[in-house]
A and B are shown apart, each in its own frame.
Chain A
Amino acid sequence: MSETVSEKFDAIVVGAGPAGNAAAYTLAKAGLAVLQIERGEYPGSKNVQGAILYSHALEAIIPDFRDSAPLERHIVEQRMWLLDESTSYTGAHFRSEEFNKPPYNRYTIIRARFDKWFSQQVRDAGALVICETTVTGLLKNEAGKVIGVRTERENGDILADVVILADGVNSLVGQRAGLRPDIAPKDAALAVKEILFLPKEVIEQRFNVSGSQGVVIEIAGSITGGMLGTAFLYTNKDSLAIGVGCILEDMKKQKMTPAELLERVKRHPAIRPLIEGGEMKEYAAHLIPEGGYNALPQLYGDGWVMVGDSAGFVNAIHREGSNLAMTTGRIAAETVIELKTAGKPFSAANLAAYKARLDDSFVMKDLKKYAEAPDMLLDNPHMLGMYPDFLARSAQTMLTVDGIDKRAKQREILARLKQKRSLWGIIGDAYKFWRAFK
């Protein structure tokens, strides 16, 4: 059927989202022969995110990214709102001058632009990037070792020493090759998002910001109709990103379409005045793997590793995904570089070093920390409306995302909260909540 391209690569990266780009960039910078294959028309054409970019993960890969990356606004204020179905809301706002000092900690981005920029860095670093090409399967030798990929193109079989799967939440490539199961409806959130165009001045007025300052609103509560999920509203330069996502299983049960849910959020009196007059520029729906630690598949094997959403690296509690994607992509690449430099084969035993490095990083520490949270919340959907005060006090520290693991941060918060502990009371729900989030 398909003939093999004669050229062989050190590594093939499948997908050009943050995970794939981080991996391909790191590999190419180290001088490896890298081929990256993306099915979209251009990198970012199919990718969906809120989107908040956490600086630390990108900084570890491209330290001076701020000089050239298309960043929208840096976040100075975070609002956490609990919305009821249609009338009222309670919430906490944090605004801090700490967030207003460069180098900034978080930015809003528009993925289509950001991914394009990231991909240009990958090309400049020397990787061969091929778009509009779908990887349809993995090539294996008789021993079952992955030795390359198959694409839909004529003469489209390509060989490599190692394949990095960064093909996102559905990872059909991984599934077809039997490397991971299909994602379970309880482990996936279906999220929809719109970009609403508004003049810069209107945004600055409505959100009380100036220059490149921006605001993030994270939303939970009965607005999701009892389904486990959250909504968000982010400020870009001259547009707003608004979205909502709920666990697929809940959506199926309630027979609610994501579009209906988003309309409900947009109609809510707390939201409506903020988005009024916005012209819709983009509508997109996407899955988010929210199963957390307990849903992680096997992460490596003979000749392959899995990074980013394809392996389910998302911290749903903190709405972090792209930073985990970039970090896992970078660490996988570093592992590959190390083996290559040492002249060692890319066997499962050697690639286990990838998992070991991850275990040592905030990625696994954070996912482990919240391992029980997804199931607990699924069984106790009312939990998401509880303890706004705790969230309020913790937010400043916890929302400063900088690669420091959350347990260390929590020790700090706990110390602060300890004197007030009597206020909390020990009730059954709180205990459960605590267990899942401890």
Chain B
Amino acid sequence: MHIVVCIKQVPDSAQIRVHPVTNTIMRQGVPAIINPFDLFALEEALRLKDKYGARVTVMSMGPAQAEEAMKKALSFGANDAILVSDKIFAGADTLATSYALAAAIRKLDETRPVDIVFTGKQTIDGDTAQVGPGLAIRLNAQLLTYVSKIRGIDAATREIVVERRAEGGVQVLASKMPCVVTMLEGSNEMRFATMPDMFRAARFDVQHWNRDAAGIEDIKQVGLKGSPTVVAKVFAPSPKAVKAEMIPGETPAAQCTALVDRLFAEHPKLAADLLKHLDSLNHSPEAAR
């Protein structure tokens, strides 16, 4: 079984700041990490490796620096890493990204047939959740989104059974392979790499595939040229100017009462709901006991 996990290196959004004057996003000096959602995909793939002896290849389209992310994925136990990297890929939106990645996966498939492609649910910098579905369409593979668990794989029938989080419940789906799986966050926890795996990753020669290696013929489909998305403006919501107010009162208890009175006066519905809720609690069997 051959599994490809698509990962992306993203700026650690927890460390991005907004410039107070220009209101623009300051990316400078922000460390790069593996898109946190992708880690769930990678861990799930590694579990299939442990269970079925699958081979796991991580793939990313990105600049040369993304090699750091590839090495990290290798340290967790991935067998191989391919960085699809070419100047002409710069400025790609989700359409162009899925085009380039699909081409590379098809290329890889020629030498080692691919059974499952994993992606994270979405990235933290784009938040579109479009690359996974885009890959499925382009690869003509089954699409399983928001997967929270892989129940099992039958190698003989080439069937995979997964749990998918849907509105109001969990669906259990069976699908043929090859398929594309986008993993939901919180579905597992990334393992702690062993020392020998750390050594292996540090020494690993990550393959760099340019557009030729990835088998891309139509360069109008990749990079900025292949990207119909236009980012008109990036801005942070302007902070609301709300005046701080001191609640007077002799004791903390008196201050609290004054605060609650004020809140209820300003939000009568909240007060009513809360009272109703408290009322129902008082009449519950537990309260009666």
Residues of chain A having any CB pair with chain B under 8 Å: 5, 7, 41-42, 45, 110, 112-113, 128-130, 133, 151, 153-156, 158, 197, 277, 279, 281-282
- Nearest-neighbour CB distance to chain B for A71, whole angstroms, equals 16
Cα of A130 to Cα of B21 in the assembled complex, Å: 40
Which one of B196, B202, B203 contacts A155 once the chains associate, using CB atoms below 8 Å? B196
B195 at interface by CB-CB < 8 Å: yes
Q: What are 30 pairs between A and B in contact, CB < 8 Å?
A: A5-B199, A7-B199, A41-B31, A45-B31, A110-B29, A112-B29, A113-B29, A128-B199, A129-B202, A130-B195, A130-B198, A130-B199, A133-B198, A151-B195, A153-B194, A153-B195, A154-B192, A154-B195, A155-B194, A155-B196, A156-B194, A158-B195, A197-B19, A197-B26, A279-B19, A279-B26, A281-B17, A281-B26, A281-B29, A282-B29
B193 at interface by CB-CB < 8 Å: yes
* Given A41-B31, A112-B29, CB of A5 within 8 Å of CB of B195: yes
* Given A128-B203, A281-B17, CB of A153 within 8 Å of CB of B29: no
Besides A5-B195, A42-B31, 4 other CB < 8 A contacts?
A110-B29, A112-B29, A128-B199, A279-B20
| Chain B residues, Cβ within 8 Å of A153 | 192-195, 198
Closest-by-CB residue of A relative to B19 is: A279
CB 8 Å contact bits of B1-35 with A (1 = contact, 0 = none)? 00000000000000001011100001001010000
Closest-by-CB residue of A relative to B26 is: A197
| Chain A residues, Cβ within 8 Å of B192 | 153-154
| Chain A residues, Cβ within 8 Å of B202 | 128-130
| Chain A residues, Cβ within 8 Å of B26 | 197, 279, 281
Cα of A110 to Cα of B193 in the assembled complex, Å: 30
Which one of B21, B29, B194, B199 contacts A154 once the chains associate, using CB atoms below 8 Å? B194
- Nearest-neighbour CB distance to chain A for B167, whole angstroms, equals 37
Cα of A52 to Cα of B49 in the assembled complex, Å: 49
- Nearest-neighbour CB distance to chain A for B28, whole angstroms, equals 8
Cα of A202 to Cα of B212 in the assembled complex, Å: 47
Cα of A163 to Cα of B266 in the assembled complex, Å: 67
- Nearest-neighbour CB distance to chain B for A25, whole angstroms, equals 16
Residues of chain B having any CB pair with chain A under 8 Å: 17, 19-21, 26, 29, 31, 192-196, 198-199, 202-203
- Nearest-neighbour CB distance to chain B for A197, whole angstroms, equals 7
Cα of A25 to Cα of B245 in the assembled complex, Å: 58
Is A155 touching B195 in the complex (CB atoms < 8 A)? yes
- Nearest-neighbour CB distance to chain A for B214, whole angstroms, equals 27
| Chain A residues, Cβ within 8 Å of B194 | 153-156
Cα of A42 to Cα of B26 in the assembled complex, Å: 21
Cα of A133 to Cα of B31 in the assembled complex, Å: 18
Is B196 touching A5 in the complex (CB atoms < 8 A)? yes
Cα of A164 to Cα of B176 in the assembled complex, Å: 55
| Chain A residues, Cβ within 8 Å of B31 | 41-42, 45
A158, A281, A282: most-surrounded residue (chain B CB, <10 A): A281
Closest-by-CB residue of A relative to B12 is: A41
The 9 closest A-B pairs by CB, nearest first: A154-B194, A156-B195, A153-B195, A155-B195, A130-B198, A155-B194, A5-B195, A155-B196, A128-B202
| Chain A residues, Cβ within 8 Å of B21 | 277
| Chain A residues, Cβ within 8 Å of B20 | 279
Closest-by-CB residue of A relative to B196 is: A155
| Chain A residues, Cβ within 8 Å of B199 | 5, 7, 128, 130
Cα of A112 to Cα of B198 in the assembled complex, Å: 22
| Chain A residues, Cβ within 8 Å of B19 | 197, 279
Cα of A151 to Cα of B198 in the assembled complex, Å: 12
Closest-by-CB residue of B relative to A238 is: B28
Closest-by-CB residue of B relative to A35 is: B199
Cα of A279 to Cα of B28 in the assembled complex, Å: 13
Closest-by-CB residue of A relative to B191 is: A154
Cα of A41 to Cα of B12 in the assembled complex, Å: 13
- Nearest-neighbour CB distance to chain A for B256, whole angstroms, equals 29
| Chain B residues, Cβ within 8 Å of A42 | 31
Cα of A281 to Cα of B20 in the assembled complex, Å: 12
Cα of A158 to Cα of B194 in the assembled complex, Å: 12
- Nearest-neighbour CB distance to chain A for B224, whole angstroms, equals 28
| Chain A residues, Cβ within 8 Å of B193 | 153
Cα of A190 to Cα of B194 in the assembled complex, Å: 35
Closest-by-CB residue of A relative to B201 is: A130
- Nearest-neighbour CB distance to chain B for A275, whole angstroms, equals 14
| Chain B residues, Cβ within 8 Å of A130 | 195, 198-199, 202
Cα of A206 to Cα of B19 in the assembled complex, Å: 20
| Chain A residues, Cβ within 8 Å of B198 | 130, 133, 153
Cα of A7 to Cα of B196 in the assembled complex, Å: 9
Closest-by-CB residue of B relative to A3 is: B195
Cα of A279 to Cα of B16 in the assembled complex, Å: 13
- Nearest-neighbour CB distance to chain B for A420, whole angstroms, equals 48
Closest-by-CB residue of B relative to A130 is: B198
Closest-by-CB residue of A relative to B20 is: A279
Cα of A281 to Cα of B15 in the assembled complex, Å: 9
Cα of A155 to Cα of B193 in the assembled complex, Å: 10
- Nearest-neighbour CB distance to chain A for B171, whole angstroms, equals 36
| Chain B residues, Cβ within 8 Å of A5 | 195-196, 199
B31, B195, B196, B202: most-surrounded residue (chain A CB, <10 A): B195
- Nearest-neighbour CB distance to chain A for B20, whole angstroms, equals 6
- Nearest-neighbour CB distance to chain B for A97, whole angstroms, equals 32
- Nearest-neighbour CB distance to chain B for A53, whole angstroms, equals 18
